[in-house]
Amino acid sequence: MHKSAASSILLRRVAYGDYDLIVTLLTDRFGKLSLIAKYAKKSTKRFAGILEPFAALNISFSRGRRGGLAVLQEASLASPFPRIRTDILATAYASYWVELVDTWLEEGHPQEQLYRLLDFTLKKLDQGQTEHSLLSILFQIRFLRLAGMSPELGRCSSCHCSLEDKRQERLMADHASGGIVCSGCSHEGGLHLSLGTVKQLQWLGRGDLDQALRIRFSQPSLDEATSFLENFVPYHLGRSPKSLKVLHQLRGGTVT
Ligand SMILES: [Zn+2]
């Protein structure tokens, strides 16, 4: 039996028979990992009820020689995120982020940067000093880059002209072409974005995470960027996350 330890964030859990849970985690060292937590369903004492969605956990687990599902041996709470858990909107954002990671990432591929990103945004969400929507924009734009699905933000994704050189008044989101189209290529009925919003998205996508959050978004820019990403991400992921529907309902359907 080989034993390993990791820092992790719980993405999902499902019941397995009458006694056990299968937990899926994003770890710092091993990427996404599914483990069987024996007796966790039957007895809350076994893991002290801490195997909750988006909980930050220090874990140890073991793999048998003959393969099969690895077994969760110990788990302790690294961060309880009390503010997220008592705020239904914050919970919806956290649920959306973990669902994105779980949907996109396959097991067995180390993704330390993605782990750092999720850990960072959950901590900031719990601190409660940054707007939820700004954190979600940061998470989505960085997630898209790590997943190799970044939108093209510097050039028109149709005619490839620079979005910065000309007077661009009516930029438009165009998910199928992978980003934003220029005034000349835009048409009626799409989601329009200001050049300012596009530049702010570029800023959020680069460099140090803490530094990226120093940017000031106006409310219209936050709304534009939110609409853009919450349509772009499902389009390129190939499915609409369930948690995104919940998020839209909670926000009162202002962003579609
Ligand atoms: Zn164009």
- Ion ligand 1 neighbours (CB, 5 A) are 156, 158-159, 182, 185
Cα of 141 vs centre of ligand 1, distance in Å, is 22
Domain boundaries, the chain: 2-79, 82-250
How do residues 211-222 score in pLDDT, each as one tens digit? 999 988 899 999
CATH of segment(s) 82-250: 1.20.1440.120
pLDDT of residue 49: 82
Report in angstroms the alpha-carbon separations of 86 from 13, 56, 91. 20, 16, 8
- The yes-or-no verdict on residue 64 having pLDDT over 80 is no
Q: Which top CATH class is 2-79?
A: mainly beta
Q: Which residues pair with 31 in a beta bridge?
A: 27
Cα of 159 vs centre of ligand 1, distance in Å, is 4
Residues in Cβ contact with 195 at an 8 Å cutoff, skipping those fewer than 6 apart: 163, 164, 168, 171
- The yes-or-no verdict on residue 96 having pLDDT over 90 is yes
Cα of 161 vs centre of ligand 1, distance in Å, is 6
pLDDT of residue 253: 56
Question: pLDDT category, 94, cuts 50, 70, 90?
Answer: very high
- The yes-or-no verdict on residue 2 having pLDDT over 90 is no
pLDDT of residue 256: 45
How do residues 102-142 score in pLDDT, each as one tens digit? 999 999 899 999 999 999 999 999 999 999 999 999 999 99
pLDDT of residue 158: 92
How do residues 20-58 score in pLDDT, each as one tens digit? 999 999 999 999 999 999 988 887 778 878 999 999 999
d(CA 173, CA 149): 15
Q: How far is CA 118 from the centre of its chain?
A: 6
